[in-house]
C-alpha cells in the first residue's frame, strides 16, 4: 500500500503521521510537498495537523488553495482514502470535501489533553476495526476545533451514519459533540483528535492504531482486476488494473 502525507508550510505533525503509519502498518510513506499536484500513485493521503500558513486568515483557509488540494480532490473522487487530522480536518472543510466548519473553541483556550471518544460508526474504511459504542482515548491539541454546521446538515450527518466519533467530554463546544465526520461516499474522514499520537502504550493510549490498520486492511482487501475485467471496488467504484504476474500490496 502506498501512503502520502502532505506537508504545508506550517505543518508540524507530518513526521508524527509518517512514523505512526510506518510503525503500525510497516508500509513506507512519502512526504509530499504542498506544490505537488499529482497524487495518482497513492492509495491513501493524510493531511496532518499543524498550523498551515500560520493559520493566518482562518485555519485551513489558505492551504485549501494549494496545488496539492487538486490532487486530494481527484483522490477523493476516485474513491481513494483521504484522512484529515486536526488542521487537515480544517483544510478539508474549507475545501468543501467535508461539510461544516471548525470554529474557535468556545472557551477561547488552546486545549492539549487526552480525550475520551465514542465510536459512532464503523461502516467506513477508517473505523472498521472498532466497535460501535466503544470508548477510545485519543489526544487533542487545538484552539479552533469547535465543529459547526447548520441543523439540517447535522441531522443529515446523524441520519446517514456519517458522524464517525464524538466527544464524551466536549472540550471545545462542538455541536452535538462531534469530533469527526465522513463524506457521503465514506472515503474521506476528518477528525480533530490525533490518532497518530495514540499508537503506543508509552503515549498514554494505543487506541489510534486501528485507524491506520483499518485503512490498510480496506485497501488491500479490494478486488484486484486484470485487464479486461470490469469488476470495481465497492467504495467509490475504485478499480486497479494489474498485469498477470504483477504484485499488488506494499
Residue 236 has pLDDT above 50, yes or no: no
Residue 107 lies in a domain: yes
Residue 239 lies in a domain: no
Q: Which residues contact 4 (CB under 8 A, 6 or more apart)?
A: 29, 30, 31, 32, 39, 42, 44, 45, 46
Contact 101, 154 (CB under 8 A): no
Residue 67 has pLDDT above 70, yes or no: yes
Q: What is the pLDDT of residue 61?
A: 87
Indicate the number of domains in the chain. 1
Q: Which of 210, 240, 151 is nearest to 21 (CA)?
A: 210
Contact 86, 46 (CB under 8 A): no
The DSSP letter of residue 100 is S
Residue 249 lies in a domain: no
Catalytic residue among 13, 86, 94, 142: 86
Residue 10 lies in a domain: yes
Full-model pTM: 0.88
Catalytic residue among 94, 142, 144, 194: 194
Q: What is the C-alpha R_g of the chain?
A: 17
Task: Find the domain containing 171 and state its range.
Answer: 3-221
Q: What is the pLDDT of residue 53?
A: 87
Distance (Å, rounded) from C-alpha 242 to C-alpha 52?
A: 37
Which pLDDT band, with edges at 50, 70 and 90, does 224 fall under? low
Q: What is the pLDDT of residue 39?
A: 96
Residue 23 lies in a domain: yes
Q: Which residues contact 236 (CB under 8 A, 6 or more apart)?
A: 77, 78, 79, 80, 185, 187
194 is catalytic: yes
196 is catalytic: yes
Catalytic residue among 13, 94, 142, 196: 196
Distance (Å, rounded) from C-alpha 183 to C-alpha 189?
A: 7
Over residues 100-155, the pLDDT tens digits come to 999 999 999 999 999 999 999 999 999 999 999 999 999 999 989 999 999 999 99
Residue 76 lies in a domain: yes
Q: What is the pLDDT of residue 114?
A: 97
Average pLDDT over every residue of 156-180: 97
Domain at 68, CATH number: 3.40.50.880
Residue 81 lies in a domain: yes
Residue 246 lies in a domain: no
Q: What is the pLDDT of residue 242?
A: 28
Does residue 72 sit in helix, strand or coil?
A: helix
Amino acid at each position: 500500500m502506498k501512503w502520502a502525507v502532505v506537508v504545508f508550510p506550517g505543518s508540524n505533525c507530518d513526521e508524527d503521521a509518517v512514523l505512526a503509519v510506518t510503525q503500525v502498518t510497516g508500509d513506507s510513506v512519502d512526504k509530499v510537498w504542498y506544490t505537488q499536484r499529482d497524487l495518482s500513485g497513492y492509495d491513501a493521503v493524510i493531511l496532518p495537523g499543524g498550523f498551515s500558513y500560520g493559520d493566518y486568515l482562518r485555519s485551513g483557509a489558505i492551504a485549501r488553495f494549494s496545488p496539492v488540494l487538486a490532487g486530494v480532490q481527484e483522490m477523493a473522487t476516485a474513491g481513494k482514502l483521504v484522512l484529515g487530522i486536526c488542521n487537515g480536518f480544517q483544510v478539508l472543510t474549507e475545501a468543501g470535501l467535508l461539510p461544516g466548519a471548525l470554529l474557535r473553541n468556545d472557551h477561547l483556550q488552546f486545549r492539549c489533553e487526552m480525550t475520551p471518544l465514542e465510536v459512532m460508526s464503523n461502516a467506513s474504511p477508517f473505523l472498521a476495526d472498532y466497535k460501535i459504542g466503544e470508548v477510545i482515548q485519543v489526544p487533542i491539541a487545538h484552539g479552533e476545533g469547535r465543529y459547526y454546521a447548520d441543523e439540517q446538515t447535522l441531522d443529515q450527518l446523524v441520519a446517514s451514519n456519517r458522524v464517525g466519533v464524538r466527544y464524551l467530554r466536549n472540550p471545545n463546544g462542538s455541536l452535538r459533540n462531534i469530533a469527526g465526520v465522513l463524506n457521503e461516499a465514506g472515503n474521506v474522514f476528518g477528525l480533530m483528535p490525533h490518532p497518530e499520537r495514540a499508537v503506543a502504550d508509552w503515549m498514554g493510549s494505543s487506541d489510534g492504531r486501528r485507524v491506520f490498520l483499518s485503512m490498510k486492511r480496506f485497501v488491500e482487501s479490494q478486488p484486484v482486476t486484470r485487464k479486461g475485467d470490469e469488476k470495481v471496488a465497492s467504495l467509490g467504484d475504485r478499480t486497479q488494473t494489474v498485469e498477470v504476474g504483477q504484485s499488488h500490496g506494499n
